[in-house]
Structures are given as C-alpha cells and as structure tokens.
C-alpha cells in the first residue's frame, strides 16, 4: 500500500515522510527499504532548492528519492508527463517489493499519481475547426451540441465559456468517449492511504513566516539570481514560464525588475505562501479519503504509523465514518 503525506505547505510533510520511510524500511527489513516519490511540482526543478524547501541530499537519511531534480528550470512542467514518470517509479518500487511514500502539496500532481485521471491529447486541426465554428455559429450552438453528446459536461460548462466547450468537444472527437469520462475520479489506481497534516491558521501563519525568514537567510535571493537570465535580473540560464511562477521566485524576480523593494518582495513571499497554504488545504480538504493529523502533535510519527498499520490491516473506517478532523482555520 502506498503511503502519501499531503497537506498545506510548512506543515512538516517532508520530515514526516522521512520518518515514515525510515521506520517502514526498518520494519520490512533491509531487502525492501521504503522509497520517497516527490509530488511537489516545483521540486522537480534542478537548482530550485531553497525556495521549494527541498530536503538536501545529505539530510535524506540514505532514503532513495524520485521525481526530484528531473527538469531544468527553463523547462515547463507537465502533469501528464509527471504522471507517466512517477507511475513508472511506483511500478519499479513495487517490483523491488519496497514501500512507496509519496509526499507533496501539489494537489493535482497527487491526484494524477494516485487516482484514475486521463490526459487526452490535443489535435490542432480539430480545435481550429471547432474554434472557427464558434466564430461563425456562435458559442451557444456548440454548447447545444455538447449537451447532446455529453449532458453532464454541458451542465458543468456554461454556454458562455466557449474555450472549455471547444476543449470538451475536441476531447470527445479525439477519444470517442464523453468528455466527463476523462475527468478525475476519487478512485485509487492502486491501494493507498493519504495522511494529511493540518494545524490552526495562527500556527500555520507563524510557521510560514519562520520558513521565509530561514529561506532568506539561507540564500534564496542568491539562488534566484543564479537561476534567472540577465533579462530577468540574474546571471543564469533563465527561469521558464512555469518555474518563474513559483512562490518565492516570482516575487524576487519582481524585485529584480524594479517593481518592488526587497522588503516588499519578502512580505509578498510571506503573503503568497499563506495564500498557497489556504488553496492547498481547500484542495485536500475536499477529499474525504485524507486522514488528518495535527502537524504539531508530539506523537505525530506514531499517530501516522498507526494510520498506516490500520490501512495495511484493512481496519481504517470508510471515508465519512469515524471522527471528523476540523479543517484549517475552522
């Protein structure tokens, strides 16, 4: 069974994942150590270490990590490409009869790895034809066609959202299946248990502020300068469109561009990290399968191990049954 540690940033997911991997390795014997699979979109990038809170190699306790440092900072990340590569890692880990511990706060990446989620391709010719029809016939005509082919999709996509209507019709034509058949389902592709780390808003805000202070002291500004191209205010090869949007990097780049002072950039990193944490909690909080634990509990590791052992034994209550944990800030 895959163990996934999820939740908002700054709650200690990486530390708990290392603790679990270490204990689970010792429990299964040297022949089947646990291995960690990253599910943080920005830890995929080489050189983006401080700003993504990447665990340094020397602090990984000898535990193998996958899906870290697999992209150059000038490349664009792809959820579909991540799904293919990370699932191949899970297959290899399983073949070694080892335990996979997934850790990360990028909700879409976690879902793409653990759940049934398809990524239909694109067809430029089909899309261009549909877009031309939208121009000549109007978006409502295409929406009516979508309602005939996939009523559920048409109900969720309003007639005014022509871009999404076109995409839905494109997927239907490419795949020969309803658009809704390709949407993610809360259904694991292989046995898994998700452990979520939660804490109250005041505590989390303090953790975020402390993390940003540590990142600044550790050299975040120098890291961004080393990665950014001269046109971005740096001396490096450049940050691609995806990497440049990462919290911590985007704000420093705006400082380099003269839009903000250093103090303004630093304050924005704190504010945007807090905003990110709220967004992550909203994403994971909608998944009833997540087993929430208090990130500040002195018995956190043992609490998490108890969840894993109950899951292994098939003794966890079904989603919605048993005690319900509060959500962030409630």
Q: What is the pLDDT of residues 99-111, one digit of tens each?
A: 999 999 999 999 9
3-state secondary structure of 35: strand
Same domain as 226, residue 169 = no
- Is residue 40 very low, low, confident or very high in pLDDT (cuts 50, 70, 90)? very high
* pLDDT for position 120: 85
Q: Are 9 and 3 in contact (CB under 8 A)?
A: no
Q: Indicate whether 268 pLDDT > 60.
A: yes
When pLDDT is averaged across residues 295-310 and rounded to a whole number, the result is 97
Which one has a higher pLDDT value, 78 or 251?
251
Is residue 11 part of an annotated ligand binding site?
Answer: yes
CB < 8 Å & 24+ apart, contacts of 181-189: 181/118, 182/118, 182/119, 182/120, 184/111, 184/112, 184/115, 184/116, 184/117, 185/115, 185/116, 185/117, 186/115, 186/287, 186/288, 186/289, 187/115, 187/116, 188/114, 188/115, 189/87, 189/114, 189/115, 189/116
Query: Would you say residue 328 lies in a domain?
Result: no
Same domain as 152, residue 214 = no
Same domain as 139, residue 230 = no
- Is residue 221 very low, low, confident or very high in pLDDT (cuts 50, 70, 90)? very high
Token output for 134: 């939208």
Which one has a higher pLDDT value, 42 or 327?
42
- Is residue 330 very low, low, confident or very high in pLDDT (cuts 50, 70, 90)? very low
* pLDDT for position 181: 85
Q: How many CB atoms lie within 10 A of CB 2?
A: 21
Same domain as 90, residue 140 = no
Q: How many CA atoms lie within 13 A of 120 on its CB side?
A: 20
When pLDDT is averaged across residues 276-288 and rounded to a whole number, the result is 95
- Show the DSSP H helices in the chain as ranges: 13-28, 79-95, 107-114, 124-137, 139-149, 151-156, 162-175, 201-218, 220-227, 249-256, 262-285, 300-312
| 73, burial (CB in 10 Å: exposed 0-12, middle 13-18, buried 19+) | buried
Query: Would you say residue 321 lies in a domain?
Result: no
Same domain as 142, residue 44 = no
Is residue 9 part of an annotated ligand binding site?
Answer: yes
Q: Indicate whether 217 pLDDT > 50.
A: yes
Q: How many CB atoms lie within 10 A of CB 108?
A: 15
Is residue 104 part of an annotated ligand binding site?
Answer: no
Same domain as 282, residue 244 = yes
Q: Indicate whether 323 pLDDT > 60.
A: no
Is residue 10 part of an annotated ligand binding site?
Answer: yes
Q: How many CA atoms lie within 13 A of 60 on its CB side?
A: 17
* pLDDT for position 122: 86
Q: Are 175 and 103 in contact (CB under 8 A)?
A: no
Q: Residue 277 maps to which CATH number?
A: 3.40.50.300
When pLDDT is averaged across residues 225-247 and rounded to a whole number, the result is 96
* pLDDT for position 32: 63
* pLDDT for position 262: 98
C-alpha to C-alpha distance for 258 and 94, rounded to whole angstroms: 50
Is residue 279 part of an annotated ligand binding site?
Answer: no
- Is residue 115 very low, low, confident or very high in pLDDT (cuts 50, 70, 90)? very high
Mean pLDDT is lowest, of 17-21, 29-33, 50-54, 203-207, for 29-33
Which range marks the domain in which residue 151 is found? 124-183
Query: Would you say residue 286 lies in a domain?
Result: yes
Q: Indicate whether 327 pLDDT > 60.
A: no
- Percentage with pLDDT > 70 across the chain: 95
Query: Would you say residue 322 lies in a domain?
Result: no
Q: What is the largest CA-CA distance in the chain?
A: 66
C-alpha to C-alpha distance for 150 and 147, rounded to whole angstroms: 5
Token output for 166: 């076109």
Same domain as 140, residue 236 = no
Query: Would you say residue 324 lies in a domain?
Result: no
Q: Which residue has the tokens 């691609």?
A: 240
Is residue 8 part of an annotated ligand binding site?
Answer: yes
Token output for 33: 């150590």
Same domain as 270, residue 142 = no
Which one has a higher pLDDT value, 95 or 323?
95
Q: Indicate whether 244 pLDDT > 50.
A: yes
pLDDT in tens, 174-187: 999 999 888 778 99
Q: What angle do CA 237, 241, 242 make, to 5 degrees?
A: 105
Query: Would you say residue 111 lies in a domain?
Result: yes
* pLDDT for position 329: 45
Same domain as 112, residue 46 = yes
C-alpha distances in Å from residue 48, one per residue of 6, 34, 40, 146, 328 = 20, 25, 12, 42, 28
- Is residue 322 very low, low, confident or very high in pLDDT (cuts 50, 70, 90)? low
């Amino acid at each position: 069974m895959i163990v996934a540690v999820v939740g908002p940033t700054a709650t200690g997911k990486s530390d708990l994942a290392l603790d679990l991997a270490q204990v689970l390795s010792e429990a299964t014997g040297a022949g089947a150590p646990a291995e960690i699979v990253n599910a943080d979109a920005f830890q995929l990038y080489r050189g983006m270490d401080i700003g993504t809170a990447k665990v340094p190699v020397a602090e990984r306790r000898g535990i193998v990590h996958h899906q870290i440092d697999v992209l150059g900072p000038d490349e664009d990340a792809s959820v579909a490409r991540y799904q293919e590569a990370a699932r191949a890692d899970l297959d290899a880990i399983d073949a070694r009869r080892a335990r996979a511990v997934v850790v990360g706060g990028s909700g879409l990446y976690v879902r793409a790895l653990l759940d049934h989620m398809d990524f239909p391709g694109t067809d430029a010719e089909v899309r261009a034809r549909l877009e031309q029809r939208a121009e000549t016939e109007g978006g409502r005509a295409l929406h009516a066609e979508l309602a005939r082919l996939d009523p559920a999709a048409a109900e969720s996509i309003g007639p005014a959202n022509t871009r999404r209507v076109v995409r839905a019709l494109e997927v239907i034509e490419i795949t020969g299946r309803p658009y809704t058949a390709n949407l993610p389902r809360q259904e694991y592709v292989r046995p898994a248990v998700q452990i979520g780390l939660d804490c109250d808003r005041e505590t989390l805000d303090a953790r975020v502020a402390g993390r940003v202070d540590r990142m600044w002291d550790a050299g975040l500004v120098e890291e961004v300068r080393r990665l950014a191209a001269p046109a971005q205010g740096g001396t490096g090869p450049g940050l691609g469109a995806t990497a440049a949007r990462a919290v911590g990097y985007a704000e420093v780049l705006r400082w380099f561009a003269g839009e903000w002072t250093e103090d303004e950039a630093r304050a924005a990193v704190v504010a945007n990290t807090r905003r990110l944490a709220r967004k992550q909690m909203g994403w994971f909080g909608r998944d009833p399968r997540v087993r929430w634990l208090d990130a500040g509990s002195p018995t956190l590791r043992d609490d998490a191990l108890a969840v894993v052992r109950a899951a292994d034994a098939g003794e966890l209550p079904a989603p919605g049954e048993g005690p319900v944990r509060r959500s962030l800030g409630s």
